[in-house]
């Protein structure tokens, strides 16, 4: 199943197909009277096959190639019996044609992203009621911060992809950095939620008294609330001139909303076309364990 957005798949296909070349020729050498074939360029071939497999594309062919003799060596070339070489060459040719045709379709049908947009991956959705609830949470989490005279942001849905549902949402130049800070803080708080759950399980496992467990949970919640407050104040200081309690409360609410959505499997990423200076403002959704608060980085 394809979990990546079609835009990411398009970009990765473009990068990989440039490397998808190999050599295929008969050689004079024989083994027991059998004709032999030389396959070359296997380092790039294995790299491309692995990447296509990770994308969930053309799984039957990629898996058969990963089970073939070209994966029994790390060398860039090998000499094998001609019938086996012909079979591998045929599968590689078919895979390249399929990947090239799919890329051609994506180039014609998938719209390009504006650098001032974000990509939102929804958590798993089973019905319209859940879709409505999650969409409402995302709407509130974003608009209560960027719909202001200071930020002047917007939330225009540019495209929607199925499989894992991805929205490309135009938010405006000044809103992207605000959302990046919000998502980073939310990921930090999600991590804190996870630590709290683990602590609660450990305390329960020790079979302590209910009153003691309640004290631990209250202390953990108080610490988390303090972190949310600190993250919200940092975002207000970074992006808002209006230093008001109302703004702080809106930011805190947005952090809690997105921390919960991240826990359910949602992701918020910059546009693929965004410059590195912008994309680095967003946390890596695949490495949330190592994520640290930007407040700590500034203090350090």
Residue 143: which of 108, 119, 112, 178 has the closest Cα? 178
**Which H or E run contains 31?**
strand 23-31
How confident is the model at residue 300, as a pLDDT? 45
Q: Given this model, what pLDDT does residue 112 score?
A: 86
Helix 173-205 / helix 245-264 crossing angle, nearest 10 deg = 60
pLDDT of residue 269: 93
Question: For residue 89, what is the enclosing H or E element?
Answer: helix 82-109
> Can you give the pTM of this predicted structure?
0.74
pLDDT, position 29: 63
Count how many residues are written for the chain.
300
> Per residue in 48-79, pLDDT tens?
999 999 998 999 999 999 999 999 989 999 99
pLDDT at 46: 96
Report the pLDDT value the prediction gives residue 32, as an integer from 0 to 100. 66
Question: How does pLDDT run across 104-145, given as a tens digit for each residue?
Answer: 999 998 888 899 999 999 998 888 999 999 999 999 999 999
pLDDT band with cut points at 50, 70 and 90 for residue 1:
very low
Give the pLDDT confidence score for residue 215 in this predicted structure.
76
pLDDT at 297 over 60: no
- Residue 120, helix vs strand vs coil: strand
Please tell me which residue, 101 or 33, carries the higher pLDDT value: 101
* Eight-state DSSP code of residue 265: T
Cβ partners under 8 Å of residue 221, min gap 6? 196
The tens digit of pLDDT for each residue in 152-176 reads: 999 999 888 866 788 999 999 899 9
Higher-confidence residue of 34 and 191: namely: 191
Residue range 179-226, pLDDT digits in tens = 999 999 999 999 988 887 787 777 777 766 666 667 777 888 888 899
Order across the sheet with 77-81: list the strands. 23-31, 34-40, 77-81
The confidence score (pLDDT) of residue 199 equals 76
Non-local CB neighbours of 7 within 8 Å, separated by 6+ positions = 110, 113, 119, 168, 272
Task: Tell me what pLDDT residue 221 has.
Answer: 84
Q: Please tell me the predicted confidence (pLDDT) of residue 85.
A: 92
Return all residues near 247 (Cβ < 8 A) that are at least 6 apart: 236, 240
257-296 pLDDT, tens per residue? 999 999 999 999 999 889 999 999 999 988 888 889 988 6
What the block records as the tokens of 181 is 């800070």
């Amino acid at each position: 199943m394809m979990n990546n957005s079609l835009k990411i798949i398009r970009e990765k296909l473009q990068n990989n197909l440039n490397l998808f070349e190999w050599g295929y020729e008969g050689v004079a050498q024989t083994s027991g009277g059998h004709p032999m074939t030389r396959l070359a360029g296997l380092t790039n071939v294995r790299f491309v096959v692995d990447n296509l497999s990770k994308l969930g594309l053309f799984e039957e062919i990629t898996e058969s190639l990963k089970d073939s003799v070209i994966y029994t060596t790390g060398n860039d070339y090998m000499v094998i019996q001609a019938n086996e070489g012909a079979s591998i060459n045929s599968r590689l040719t078919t895979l390249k044609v399929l990947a090239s045709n799919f890329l051609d379709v994506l180039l014609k049908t998938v719209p390009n992203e504006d650098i001032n947009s974000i990509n939102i991956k929804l958590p798993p959705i089973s019905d319209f009621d859940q879709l409505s609830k999650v969409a409402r949470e995302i709407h509130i989490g974003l608009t209560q911060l960027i719909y202001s005279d200071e930020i002047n942001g917007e939330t225009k849905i540019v495209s929607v992809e199925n499989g894992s549902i991805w929205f490309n949402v135009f938010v405006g130049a000044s809103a992207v950095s605000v959302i990046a800070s919000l998502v980073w803080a939310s990921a930090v708080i999600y991590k804190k939620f996870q630590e709290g759950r683990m602590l609660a399980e450990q305390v329960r496992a020790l079979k302590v008294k209910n009153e003691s467990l309640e004290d631990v949970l209250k202390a953990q919640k108080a610490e988390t609330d303090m972190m949310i407050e600190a993250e919200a104040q940092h975002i207000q200081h970074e992006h808002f001139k209006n230093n008001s309690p109302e703004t702080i409360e809106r930011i805190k609410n947005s952090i809690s909303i997105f921390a919960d959505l991240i826990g359910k499997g949602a992701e918020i990423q910059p546009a693929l076309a965004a410059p590195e200076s912008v994309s680095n403002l967003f946390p890596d959704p695949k490495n949330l364990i190592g994520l640290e608060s930007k407040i700590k980085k500034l203090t350090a």
